[in-house]
């Protein structure tokens, strides 16, 4: 019987297809959701952490700035990942007007 593959093999194949077929609109939506969640986490850090200070390089720094710095780094990484995906999409579809990263297409 040809169709006797296990259900989890079919599920894994379907998940692979779904993950490789993310549309631009879906990635944009996920991007804004991620940035919103980073903002919520930053607000929670700001309002729940106390005014404790730690010494970093001999200077007193608010302790709540440490997790905020981590969240800013994650948000920056998310922005860079979206931009990289847009560039990859443009390079894989050069027939679209104005796409590509060659100097001629940038001017």
Residue found under tokens 């903002």: 39
Where are the chain's structural domains? 23-97
Q: 1-15 burial, b for 16+ CB within 10 Å, e for fewer?
A: eeeeeeeeeeeeeee
| 11 pLDDT above the threshold of 90 | no
Q: How confident is the model at residue 102 (pLDDT cuts 50, 70, 90)?
A: low
Render pLDDT for 62-97 as a digit per residue (tens, 0 to 9). 889 999 999 999 999 999 999 988 888 877 766 655
Contact present, 101 and 107 (Cβ < 8 Å): no
Report residue 2: phi and psi, to 5°: -80, -25
Residue 91 is predicted with a pLDDT of: 76
| 44 pLDDT above the threshold of 60 | yes
Strands (E), the chain: 53-56, 59-62
Residue 89 is predicted with a pLDDT of: 80
**How high does pLDDT run on average in the chain?**
79
pTM for the whole structure = 0.62
């Amino acid at each position: 019987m040809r169709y006797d593959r296990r259900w989890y093999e079919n599920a894994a194949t379907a998940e692979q297809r779904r993950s490789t077929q993310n549309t631009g609109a879906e990635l944009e939506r996920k991007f804004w959701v991620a940035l919103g969640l980073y903002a919520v986490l930053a607000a929670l850090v700001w309002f729940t952490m106390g005014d404790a200070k730690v010494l970093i390089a001999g200077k007193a720094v608010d302790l709540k700035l440490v997790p905020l710095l981590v969240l800013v780094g994650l948000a920056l990484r998310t922005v860079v990942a979206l931009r990289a995906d847009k560039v990859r999409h443009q390079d894989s579809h050069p027939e679209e007007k104005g796409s590509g990263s060659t100097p001629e297409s940038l001017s």
